[in-house]
């Protein structure tokens, strides 16, 4: 090939390469980059006023509104379209109560196409602005979140951020349903953002969020909150929690965390206060349960006895009347001095009545680590319950491989283990409802803006814990605790209430905190077919601190309120 031909061929290849490059670039701009360029052009030649989607509402199980919306307005401005920044800033400052300097700085900042002057303005203010005929200033309808019951179930419902996005609680967890899709109104403008005469207006409608119906009953919630507020005030307690659920399906009927706050007046300026008051301690925090945990130990023992495990104790076995047990050199005492025959000749039912620690030490050691831990795992200690709520704690359970006999002994009566109130309530429900562990639920159903149900939840059976026979025997014993034992102050004449008290010492920096206790009671009714279970936890009550004198009466008050509310007739 001659030199000339080679040069012509090289030129041809270069031209072909440039042509392909041009075609590729053209394809990229016309096809790949089309949407982005179209958006940029639209932004340059249009002014957008947002059409804010109405956020879905939150209702309780009865259809009572817990979170809704009120009409408000947002005021916007486009700096390029503002003809007199000084006059406009002065007018808006006087009308809206916003700093002149702040508004003027926004109106003269031409690096941003759209700026927000204020959110949540009342209609009268917007009408005043509209009458002033201010070039470059616009407004759009907004939605202000409103909570009709203020602090009722505040930590459970949660709240939204300034941009109306769900932040905590149900508002945050079910954001995907509650949040709608915003629309907008588009006006044609020139390059600097000034409206064109006879321009075409394009309207893109917003899509409203879906409504959420919860399993909560606002009436039961109110009864529980009132009772917990009274016990907290009378005992000068640091905090108090209560959860009410249906053991037959896992539906949560009430969740109380005190102290509380008003959802309409969120303390956003004080982060430490905000975090403390908005935390759902029932789900997110843990504590050492003490004697209420003996329900789980008794359930495991009864099930193993029914299975023929010779190490387990029967319902007629008589425990040693000795006041102490020594394990790995550690002496464990009963709260009673066992004088004058107290706590002698105790069966399992009587050990529950008397809340005698040594008996439950005997059970835990007899079952052994492997067997006892198999029940702890079946009751989901050390695991999440599966509740539809963010931030759930899994509690603290020693790894099985590290457990010593002295640890196992203490776990048997509710020490050396930490649980969330939710975990304990769900575990007790699974011990007394026939042995069925239902995942706790807050969501009942989701409906669209027309009221059509698009999602309805069903009970979630997460596993079996014990047999129906073991559950029946246990429930009979716990009914005796309320009738004859430490839970007497939760007794209601004519109603088969069962339960167990608990009084646990608190620890600080690994040491027992002198004079600091957690008083609790977990109870349910009717004992033979549980429908309502209530766990009451009172943190650091002053004066009397026993679960029998602080928490049990509070639970009885809540049960009485529910009986009156539901018009439940006596069972016996």
pLDDT in tens, 1-22: 566 676 766 667 777 777 777 7
pLDDT in tens, 172-187: 999 999 998 887 766 5
pLDDT value, residue 191: 46
Quote the DSSP letter at residue 194: P
Order of strands, edge to edge, in the sheet holding 201-204? 46-51, 183-188, 201-204
Residues in the chain: 572
pLDDT value, residue 40: 45
pTM: 0.85
pLDDT value, residue 9: 64
pLDDT value, residue 271: 86
Say if CB 146 and CB 264 are below 8 A apart: yes
Residue 512 tokens, joined: 């027992």
Identify the segments of the chain with pLDDT beneath 70. Answer: 1-4, 6, 8-11, 24-49, 113, 185-203, 340-341, 572
CB-based burial label for 457 (10 Å; 0-12, 13-18, 19+): middle
Q: Which positions are annotated as active-site residues?
A: 291
Angle ∠(481,487,490) on CA atoms, nearest 5: 120
pLDDT value, residue 29: 55
pLDDT value, residue 110: 73
Other CB atoms within 10 Å distance of the CB of residue 96: 17
- Please name each of the domains of the chain with its CATH number: 50-95+104-180+199-214 (3.90.1310.10), 218-566 (3.40.710.10)
**Cβ neighbours for 505, distance < 8 A, ≥ 6 positions apart:** 288, 290, 512, 513, 516, 517
**CA 503, CA 486: separation in Å to the nearest integer?**
11
pLDDT value, residue 185: 65
């Amino acid at each position: 090939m001659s030199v000339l031909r080679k040069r012509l061929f090289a030129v041809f290849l270069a031209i072909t390469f440039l042509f392909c490059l041009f075609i590729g670039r053209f394809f990229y701009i016309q096809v790949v980059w089309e949407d982005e360029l179209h958006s940029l052009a639209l932004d340059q030649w249009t002014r957008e006023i947002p059409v804010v989607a109405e956020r879905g509402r939150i209702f309780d199980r009865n259809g009572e509104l817990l979170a809704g919306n009120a009409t408000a307005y947002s005021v916007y401005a486009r700096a390029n379209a503002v003809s007199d920044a000084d006059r406009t800033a002065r007018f808006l400052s006087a009308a809206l109560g916003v700093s002149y300097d702040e508004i003027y700085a926004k109106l003269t900042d031409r690096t941003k196409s759209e700026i927000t002057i204020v959110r949540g303005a009342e209609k009268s203010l917007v009408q005043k602005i509209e009458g002033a005929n201010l070039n470059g200033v616009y407004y759009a309808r907004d939605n202000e979140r409103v909570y009709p019951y203020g602090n009722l179930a505040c930590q459970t419902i949660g709240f939204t951020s300034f941009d109306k996005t769900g932040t905590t609680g149900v508002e945050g967890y079910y954001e995907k349903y509650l949040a709608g899709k915003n629309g907008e109104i588009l006006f044609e403008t020139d390059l600097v953002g000034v409206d064109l005469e006879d321009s075409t207006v394009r309207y893109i409608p917003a899509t409203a969020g879906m409504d959420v119906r919860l399993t909560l009953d606002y009436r039961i919630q109110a009864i529980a909150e009132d009772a917990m507020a009274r016990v907290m005030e009378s005992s000068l307690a640091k905090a108090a929690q209560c959860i009410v659920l249906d053991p037959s399906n896992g539906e949560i009927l009430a969740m109380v965390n005190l102290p509380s706050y008003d959802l309409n007046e969120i303390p956003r300026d004080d982060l430490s206060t905000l975090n403390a008051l908005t935390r759902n301690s029932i789900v997110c925090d843990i504590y050492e349960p003490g004697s209420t945990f003996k329900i789980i130990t008794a359930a495991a023992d009864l099930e193993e006895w029914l299975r023929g495990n010779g190490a387990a104790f029967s319902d007629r076995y008589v425990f040693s009347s000795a006041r102490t047990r020594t394990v790995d050199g550690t002496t464990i005492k009963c709260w009673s001095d066992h004088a004058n025959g107290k706590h002698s000749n105790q069966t399992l039912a009587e050990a529950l009545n008397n809340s005698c620690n040594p008996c439950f030490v005997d059970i835990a050691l007899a079952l052994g680590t492997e067997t006892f831990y198999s029940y702890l795992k079946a009751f989901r200690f050390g695991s999440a319950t599966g509740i539809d709520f963010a931030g759930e704690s899994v509690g603290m359970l020693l790894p099985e491989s590290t457990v010593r006999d002295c640890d196992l002994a203490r776990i048997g009566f509710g020490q050396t283990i930490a649980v969330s109130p939710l975990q304990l309530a769900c575990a007790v429900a699974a011990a007394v409802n026939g042995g069925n562990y239902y995942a706790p639920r807050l969501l009942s159903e989701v409906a669209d803006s027309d009221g059509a149900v698009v999602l309805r939840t069903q009970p979630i059976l997460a596993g079996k814990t014990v047999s129906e026979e073991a559950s029946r025997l246990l429930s009979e014993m716990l009914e005796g605790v309320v009738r004859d034992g430490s839970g007497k102050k939760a007794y209601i004449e004519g109603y088969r209430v069962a339960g167990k008290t608990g009084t646990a010492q608190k620890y600080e920096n690994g040491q027992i905190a002198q004079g600091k206790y957690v008083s609790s009671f977990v109870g349910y009714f009717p004992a033979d077919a549980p429908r309502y279970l209530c766990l009451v936890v009172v943190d650091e009550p002053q004066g009397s601190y026993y679960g029998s004198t602080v928490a049990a009466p509070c639970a009885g008050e809540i049960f009485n309120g529910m009986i009156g509310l539901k018009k439940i007739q006596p069972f016996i």
